[in-house]
Amino acid sequence: MVEKVRTIEEVDRYILGLQEDIQEITVALRKIILQTSPNLIEEFKWSMPNYSYNGLVCYLQAAKKHVNLGFHKGYELEVKDTNNLLQGQGKALRYFRIKKMEEIQPDIFTDLIKEAMALNEK
């Protein structure tokens, strides 16, 4: 059985355009997202990678010195964020700001991605 390619060219190009350290973080986060569930669909919206399942789940937003792993319904996820790592003050969006590879926490990120997917099932 051939595994379906779940990455898209627009996101590949986006990542290739990033500086090396930010590129490394973005690739690692993308991998965590796609490994969380085979149901997540990679899209390129609003000039950045977005991942959806029954609606928007999360996104990757790269800047010069960090990458945000953001959640479209982050406000609703705050109760699940027992480590109080989510940042943001807006109506809905919340994010993790990752400045170096050591700050990536696969277990915590995976759990919140799953929680965000569950929100879209309601």
Q: Are strands 94-98 and 67-71 parallel, antiparallel or unpaired?
A: antiparallel
- Rounded to two decimals, the pTM is 0.93
The span from the CA of 4 to the CA of 53, in Å, is 16
Can you give the pLDDT at residue 2? 46
Listed by start position, the domains of the chain span: 9-119
The span from the CA of 82 to the CA of 86, in Å, is 10
pLDDT, tens digit (0-9, with 9 covering 90-100), for 13-55: 999 999 999 999 999 999 999 999 999 999 999 999 999 999 9
76 CB-near residues (< 8 Å, 6+ apart): 92, 119
pLDDT, tens digit (0-9, with 9 covering 90-100), for 81-102: 888 889 998 889 999 999 999 9
- Partners of 67 in the beta sheet? 62, 98
CATH number for the domain whose boundaries are 9-119: 3.90.1150.200
- Partners of 48 in the beta sheet? 45
The span from the CA of 101 to the CA of 40, in Å, is 23
pLDDT, tens digit (0-9, with 9 covering 90-100), for 100-117: 999 999 999 999 999 999
Q: Is the pLDDT of residue 67 over 60?
A: yes
